[in-house]
Structure 1
Amino acid sequence: MTTVFSNSEADDDTRRELLYRGQVFVYSATPASRELVGFAGELIAEAFGGRDPQTAQFDMPVEEFAALLADLKPRFIHHPRCKELLPAVLEELGCDLEKTYFDVPRLRTSTSHDYLTSGISYAFHPHRDCWYSAPFSQVNWWIPVYAVVPENVMAFHPGYFDTAVRNGSARYDYAEWNRTSRLTAARHVRGDTREQPRPEEPVQLDPQVRVVPEPGGVLVFSGAQLHSTVPNTSGRTRFSIDFRTVHIDDVRARRGARNVDAACTGTTLRDFARCADLGPMPEDLALEYEAEALARSR
């Protein structure tokens, strides 16, 4: 059974333990999360000029829209302001900044009625982040920039949290993805041919759980949750921010969700930086995780 905890007062240790067991948390907007979505909104407005970003898709050729996102998204991802605001969000929600590591925030878009569902605005099929070389201690954080509705959020498929799904993760290596596929996203406008792990058997999408936070509200879940992009029929492009964290004690202790079906190789651990000072993930841990993933795949 999946439980959604709203504005829980649980400390971070308790929260992570519950997340690793498949529970979900949602929080009202905090001062820092409001500042983060406000900053994202400024960059989005600048990029779209006088157009309403949520409805601009109806007035723009899809190639022009994709090219705009190809410029906008990296500017947000790599902006130094994000590296200041993300730790502030995490601190407000009870994380220990000395032990919590985060990766760069992604600005995501989900366009309405299949306008752009590949490449730079990929519509995710049901998946676990752990199929993409994420550690099983990974925690995902998702924040809408503008108001969202059930028709343009994401869906959780909690019946599969402890149930294996036959999937293509055995063909995925994170280092190879970085070398050959990540930088080509903007080229995939009419379709996406990049190899990405997906279910290789029918997945029952219902019952599902959809959570609708307010703008700046924070949705928190395990990277082992099976989740997908809801087919957007809202008539508005959804803009959201997501990022991921790991707690260094959990990484060292191999503490996290149970691996029920991931067979990928490589690790995303080198993407994470310490909240307190942006220090890198210890290289010895990344090497250990790579060796363990390789052994697991054989």
Structure 2
Amino acid sequence: MNDFLFWTCVLGPVLLAEGLLARYEVLVYGAGLRAPLTELPAGMPYARGAAADAPPGAYLVYLDGIGKRRVRDTRDGGQLVKAVIAGAPELRVLGQVQPYSPLADPLADRPVWAWLRRRIGLLLFLHNVMQIFVAADHRYRPLYNRAVGSQIATQLRLAGYRPDSGVPVVLLSYSGGAQVATGAVEALHSRLRCPVTVITLGGFHNGANDLTYAERVHQLTSAHDRIERVGTWIFPQRRRLFRRSGWNRARRAGKVTVHRLDPATHLGPRGYLSPDGHLPDGRSCLDRTADTVIALIRARYGAPAATDDPAL
């Protein structure tokens, strides 16, 4: 009981403050008080994979889940990005976008958060969770979408993307990154005039974002993914009853295709990103996820498929 009271007294005020401050960045962006950051750490390229002077098969932007807190890949140690690059060298892949920061300011690099990370690491995840709900809030959603969509467009330009080139852009999102990916489609269409495909992996999003300008939306999911299922419960726009939501309009237009990755879970040893959990065919869960993503991109844009995965 004493431990319970201690954590209630410590975390309660912190959570309240975080809830109040979660809107800070998007409001600062909207007021034009700060410009989003564009510089990357020394020695870090704006994209990996295909060479900058070679025509890429597509540009892939990876939007990580709530574990994303710095420019370099986190959460799974960047293993999904590495696996996709290894299996599809024709892609130019960006993993540095900060989906939970409209100002593109890495959370772990801020002095206060660096101090907190050493003491109360859970707060880093709670911060990003709060940002998902800010991005989903109808009062802030248009501004948040414009901010992160602009961030993605800027990073793509710095990585060599030329507007009106017709080169496809694929937004690959994991968990809460799906809220940002679905919200960035319109901004990318406006700024780069590019064909956009969205791939959600265990996507946690509210279903309200307009997907009119998405060519295709691939929903990678599993019957054992409880976290994605929670999202469909708490966000009514994901339910078929709300026919006018962006998600349901896209489904009626035939843009959304569901791909089952059973028996994968959202997290853990059998999670989508786990290199340890293995399938009957000998592949790890991570390898199956990477193979599926690569096959979907190649099937859409003409390159030969590298897998005969039955999930497709």
Structure showing greater relative contact order (alpha-carbon pairs closer than 8 Å, 6 or more residues apart): 1
Q: Same-fold call, TM > 0.5?
A: no
Q: Identify, as 1 or 2, the structure richer in helix.
A: 2
TM-score relative to the length of structure 2: 0.29
